[in-house]
Chains A and B, each alone.
Chain A
Amino acid sequence: MAEHILESISLFLPEIALTVTLCVAIIADLILKERNQNVAYVVIAGLVITTIFVLRQTGLTETIFSDMVAVDPFAVFFKIVLAVSGFFIVFFSMKCRELDANKKRIGEYYMLIVAMMLGMFIMVGATNLLLMYLALELSSIASYILAGYTKRARDSAEASLKYVIYGAVSSGMLIYGVSILYGITGATDIYGVNAALQTGDFSPLALLTAGILIIAGFGYKVTVAPFHFWSPDVYEGAPITITAFLAVASKAAGFAMMIRFFKVSFIDTALLDTAGVWDIVEGFQWNIILAVMAVLTMTLGNLVAIWQNNIKRLLAYSSIAHAGYILMGLVVLTDQGIASMMLYFVMYLFMNFGAFYIAMLISNKLDTEDIEDYKGLGYRAPLVCVAMAVFLISLTGIPPTAGFIAKFYLFAAVISAGWYGLVLIAAINTVISLFYYVRIFRNMFLIEPEGDTSKIEFSLSSKILVFALLIPTIFFGVYFRDIVDLAQASVKMFGL
């Protein structure tokens, strides 16, 4: 037993490194006092160490702490995505003017970001229902506080209230669903749940109830309709750095947990074949429910986004729509679908962070989030606006950008599984999305600036960060073989 625990700890080093970073950040905050924006460097150092530990786990397929957590290529892939987004968010935060009003408490802010990352790291590896719930709560509770971080702003306070109410209700539904599932199967780890479900000795109605409640819990985290209500308000009210973090990292972790839960619990291991097509156990066709949710999510996200004037709210609806596209990968029940979801997250990270970062830079300089105020910005700040155009083109999914490759692989996976109707709806949605992305583009470039026409200068470090996001967005659109291979190799989960 002791040996097993020691061995487990050696495979749990990334999470331990994050925990240590969290503690050091608190202490550094106390010691540095007036200069506590330097806590950011402590967090960056901690993230570097964490990333090194994650990279050392590549190729492992193990389970640790008596089937509590899996360390497998799937988890490692998502941990890398999370770590990279963590770096970007810390860099964004150092540049964000919105946070300057609370300079005295900035140490806490970085500490909470690390807490959220710790929760998400455990989420992507958890194979036990209790641990999944705890990890989800850990990341949620930290994000409730972060959403209301700029305490003086009314919007921020309102965002955190809405977030905490929706979040708590969803987690209540999730744990109630888990309690029913536990009653049906008598197991708390998802392998045990799978083994019990394969005997077929349960009431389908009870399983359906449990499944829907669990989908509600996960659906809130990944903002799929009809559990998305919190996200536009929270995304608009929260500080923009946190909005970006919620839109990318939180969603990635939620999807990773959802994929692992559904794939492992409902797979029929008797019918498992090598081609990567899998079948689900009798009793509950949850992929039909997920397909309906995917269609609802993308259509609603895109249609409502058209009417938005606030850039943060627009990107919030756009990220809801993207959650709808991504969900299609899980519906088709193939490894190809899951690989394309993972690929999508890599591309989505760069293009969505890019759009949020440019929105933040413009808000820093002009103090506005209104798209109407973007008129003529293309002439005043050419570099930033051209970058924004590339990110928007990529979000739409037009070649030669990363977004096209992501959508191409996703749609291909859905087509090869025979869900033609779903792809058709997604393609129509892509066209709708072009409409509101082009609106930003038009305001920036095709309308002459009104009033102030002076050039807007950005600091060198801001420009470097723009390029750090812009280059991958274009690069992955042209050269994508390695990243596709990596995603396909990372589908492997422990026990399957």
Chain B
Amino acid sequence: MTYCIAQIPQWLAEPGLTHFLVISAILFSLGLLAVLTRRNVIMVLMGIELLLNSANINFIAFARYTTLALDAHLIALFVIILAAAEAAIALAIVLNIYQQFSTVNVDEVSTLRE
């Protein structure tokens, strides 16, 4: 078993606040990228989930590595609940779009722009 631990590089042996912040920043960027580039509405909604969850990672990391404990946990809980509520509404709207346009591609759903 000691062999395995020796393989882990020094900067990963003891994960700290920075590691989590980097992970959350990467997740946030990926989420934003998904929203901007994906044409399928479902994929866009998944990008939005990434945005919200990257914020959650931040909150929990701050709670773990600093003295600010409970507030952050609570906020993360609320964000999870809100993400669920938002997803419910968004999926209902997507269903409605599918009935009207027979597609869930955001590019094809644009009759309003002149």
A residues sitting closer than 8 Å to B (CB atoms) are: 130, 133-134, 137, 141, 144-145, 148, 151, 154-155, 157-161, 164-165, 168-169, 171-173, 175-176, 178-180, 182-183, 186, 188, 232-233, 236-237, 309
Do B28 and A164 touch across chains, with their CB atoms under 8 A apart? no
Flag B1-37 by CB within 8 Å of A: 1 or 0 each: 0000000000000000000010010001001100100
B44, B72, B101: the one contacting A165 at CB < 8 Å is B44
Do B94 and A175 touch across chains, with their CB atoms under 8 A apart? no
- A-B pairs, 7 with minimum CB distance: A172-B51, A179-B58, A175-B55, A176-B55, A168-B48, A179-B55, A233-B112
Do A157 and B93 touch across chains, with their CB atoms under 8 A apart? yes
Contact flag A176-B28 (CB < 8 Å), given A157-B93, A161-B94, A188-B75:
yes
B24, B90, B112: the one contacting A164 at CB < 8 Å is B90
Nearest Cβ in chain B — how far from A432, in angstroms? 20
Nearest Cβ in chain B — how far from A26, in angstroms? 17
Residues of B within 8 A of A161 (CB): 41, 93-94, 97, 106, 109
Do A158 and B75 touch across chains, with their CB atoms under 8 A apart? no
A141, A158, A171: the one contacting B112 at CB < 8 Å is A158
In the complex, which of the residues A134, A144, A155, A164 has the most CB atoms of chain B within 10 Å of its own CB atom?
A: A164
- The answer for the CA separation of A102 and B85 in the assembled complex, in Å, is 24
Do B90 and A148 touch across chains, with their CB atoms under 8 A apart? no
Do A130 and B94 touch across chains, with their CB atoms under 8 A apart? no
Can you list 26 residue pairs at the A/B interface with Cβ under 8 Å? A130-B71, A130-B75, A137-B85, A145-B89, A151-B96, A154-B100, A155-B112, A157-B93, A158-B110, A159-B112, A161-B93, A161-B109, A165-B90, A172-B31, A172-B51, A172-B52, A173-B51, A176-B58, A178-B75, A179-B55, A179-B56, A179-B59, A182-B72, A186-B66, A232-B112, A309-B114
A133, A155, A165, A180: the one contacting B111 at CB < 8 Å is A155
- Total A-B residue contacts, Cβ distance less than 8 Å: 119
- The answer for the CA separation of A155 and B110 in the assembled complex, in Å, is 9
Do A130 and B112 touch across chains, with their CB atoms under 8 A apart? no
B residues sitting closer than 8 Å to A (CB atoms) are: 21, 24, 28, 31-32, 35, 41, 44-45, 48, 51-52, 54-56, 58-59, 62, 66-68, 71-72, 74-75, 78-79, 82, 85-86, 89-90, 93-94, 96-97, 99-101, 106, 109-114
- The answer for the CA separation of A171 and B35 in the assembled complex, in Å, is 13
Given contacts A179-B62, A182-B62, 8 further A-B contacts (CB under 8 A): A148-B93, A154-B100, A155-B111, A157-B96, A158-B100, A164-B93, A179-B58, A182-B71
Do B113 and A233 touch across chains, with their CB atoms under 8 A apart? yes
- The answer for the CA separation of A161 and B40 in the assembled complex, in Å, is 12
In the complex, which of the residues A130, A137, A158, A188 has the most CB atoms of chain B within 10 Å of its own CB atom?
A: A158
Residues of A within 8 A of B74 (CB): 130
- Nearest residue, chain B, Cβ from A169: B35
A145, A157, A186: the one contacting B97 at CB < 8 Å is A157
Do A137 and B89 touch across chains, with their CB atoms under 8 A apart? no
- The answer for the CA separation of A494 and B85 in the assembled complex, in Å, is 32
Nearest Cβ in chain A — how far from B8, in angstroms? 26
Do A148 and B96 touch across chains, with their CB atoms under 8 A apart? yes
Do A165 and B35 touch across chains, with their CB atoms under 8 A apart? yes
Residues of A within 8 A of B109 (CB): 158, 161
Residues of B within 8 A of A236 (CB): 112
Residues of A within 8 A of B106 (CB): 161, 165
- Nearest residue, chain A, Cβ from B74: A130
- Nearest residue, chain A, Cβ from B79: A175
Do B100 and A176 touch across chains, with their CB atoms under 8 A apart? no
- The answer for the CA separation of A183 and B54 in the assembled complex, in Å, is 14
- The answer for the CA separation of A168 and B114 in the assembled complex, in Å, is 25
Nearest Cβ in chain B — how far from A131, in angstroms? 10
Contact flag A168-B72 (CB < 8 Å), given A151-B96, A155-B112:
no
- Nearest residue, chain A, Cβ from B56: A179
- Nearest residue, chain A, Cβ from B65: A183
B35, B56, B100: the one contacting A157 at CB < 8 Å is B100
Residues of A within 8 A of B24 (CB): 179
- The answer for the CA separation of A464 and B48 in the assembled complex, in Å, is 46
Nearest Cβ in chain B — how far from A342, in angstroms? 30
Do A158 and B89 touch across chains, with their CB atoms under 8 A apart? no
- Nearest residue, chain B, Cβ from A235: B112
Residues of B within 8 A of A175 (CB): 52, 55, 79
- The answer for the CA separation of A271 and B21 in the assembled complex, in Å, is 34
- The answer for the CA separation of A233 and B112 in the assembled complex, in Å, is 6
In the complex, which of the residues A151, A173, A179, A180 has the most CB atoms of chain B within 10 Å of its own CB atom?
A: A179
- Nearest residue, chain A, Cβ from B27: A176
- The answer for the CA separation of A155 and B101 in the assembled complex, in Å, is 11
- Nearest residue, chain B, Cβ from A308: B114
Nearest Cβ in chain A — how far from B64, in angstroms? 12
B44, B45, B51, B89: the one contacting A141 at CB < 8 Å is B89
B32, B78, B93, B94: the one contacting A134 at CB < 8 Å is B78
- The answer for the CA separation of A237 and B112 in the assembled complex, in Å, is 7
Residues of B within 8 A of A168 (CB): 45, 48, 51, 86, 90
Do B58 and A183 touch across chains, with their CB atoms under 8 A apart? yes
Do B82 and A160 touch across chains, with their CB atoms under 8 A apart? no
- The answer for the CA separation of A137 and B79 in the assembled complex, in Å, is 10
